[in-house]
Amino acid sequence: MSIVGRQNVGKSTLFNSLLKKKLAITEDYPGVTRDVLSARIYQEEKDLDFYLCDTPGLDIENPDSLSQTILETAYGQLRESDVIVFLLDKNLITTADHGLLNYLRREDKVANKPIIYCVNKADKELDEFDLEEFYRMGLSEVLPISAIGRKNLGLLLEKIQFF
């Protein structure tokens, strides 16, 4: 399972929170994650056993933001993943978000994979913000989460387990 999204939406924070330990470096500035990082999540009592991958922030519209090698590695990881978690920031939708969403929908080796759409940084009450903008993107189902506050991560794991 791979976590994807543009830079600074909280992918590495979500990776660490799901693992319940800090393996990925997190900072408030973009471009910190340069490699695909993976770790096993195994919870026998919940029948969970899968590999979780953190990817660099992807910007289809501006491919020069990362080296070609990093991009190829990240896209290769997406093609190998069974499930994709597409992470968005509740505070800002950008052209990079739209570009990545379009890529996920049209890329042959990715388009038929299950995608869980998560809206991160829902740190206050999870139902207090407007999901309308996300619905306009064609996302019929979104899961509000807080990676840093660990809100709704159990529900995310249930959705992953379904696949």
Q: Average pLDDT in the 45-70 region?
A: 78
- The answer to whether 29 and 16 have CB atoms below 8 angstroms apart is no
| Residue 82 in this model has a pLDDT that exceeds 80 | yes
* Three-state secondary structure of 57-112: CCCCCCHHHCCHHHHHHHHHHHHHCCCEEEEEECCECCHHHHHHHHHHHHCHHHHC
Q: For residue 24, what pLDDT band results from cuts at 50, 70 and 90?
A: low
- The answer to whether 7 and 57 have CB atoms below 8 angstroms apart is yes
pTM value is 0.87
Least confident of 39-43, 51-55, 123-127, 157-161: 123-127
- The answer to whether 54 and 12 have CB atoms below 8 angstroms apart is yes
**Residue 119, number of CB atoms within 10 A of its CB:** 25
Q: Identify the sign of the CA torsion 25, 29, 32, 33.
A: positive
Show the domains of the chain with their CATH numbers.
2-162 (3.40.50.300)
The packing angle between helices 153-162 and 11-19, to 10°, is 80
What pLDDT does 126 receive? 54
pLDDT in tens, 101-132: 998 998 877 878 999 999 999 877 655 567 78
